[in-house]
């Protein structure tokens, strides 16, 4: 990852005289970690919903509704709606 950040820095920052490279590296790394954490949270939410779907699908009687309502409930739980 360090090489990728270095490449981004070299290709993006036009003036090196007034920008501190260490600060910019730190900002890019923090931004990367924030995006990674956010994606991890979304993945875990979808994973939980999918596992719930598998469990509930095996026991269709848990729902007193039709299939469309069940699918809509899963999509709401996973954040897709």
Render pLDDT for 8-60 as a digit per residue (tens, 0 to 9). Answer: 777 777 766 667 777 777 888 888 888 888 899 888 888 888 888 777 766 66
Q: CA 18 from chain center: how many Å? A: 34
| pLDDT for 70 | 74
Which has the higher per-residue pLDDT, 75 or 29?
Answer: 29
| pLDDT for 10 | 75
Q: How confident is the model at residue 62 (pLDDT cuts 50, 70, 90)?
A: low
* Nearest CA among 41, 59, 45, 46 for reference residue 70: 59
Residues 2, 28: contact at Cβ < 8 Å? no
Residues 41, 73: contact at Cβ < 8 Å? no
Q: How confident is the model at residue 65 (pLDDT cuts 50, 70, 90)?
A: low
| pLDDT for 58 | 60
């Amino acid at each position: 990852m360090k090489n990728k950040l270095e490449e981004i820095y070299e290709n993006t920052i036009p003036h090196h005289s007034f920008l501190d490279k260490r600060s910019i590296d730190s900002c890019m790394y923090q931004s990367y970690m924030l995006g990674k954490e956010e994606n991890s949270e979304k993945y875990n939410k979808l994973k939980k919903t999918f596992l719930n779907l598998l469990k509930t699908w095996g026991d269709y009687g848990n729902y007193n509704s039709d299939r469309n309502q069940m699918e809509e409930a899963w999509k709401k739980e996973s954040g897709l709606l």
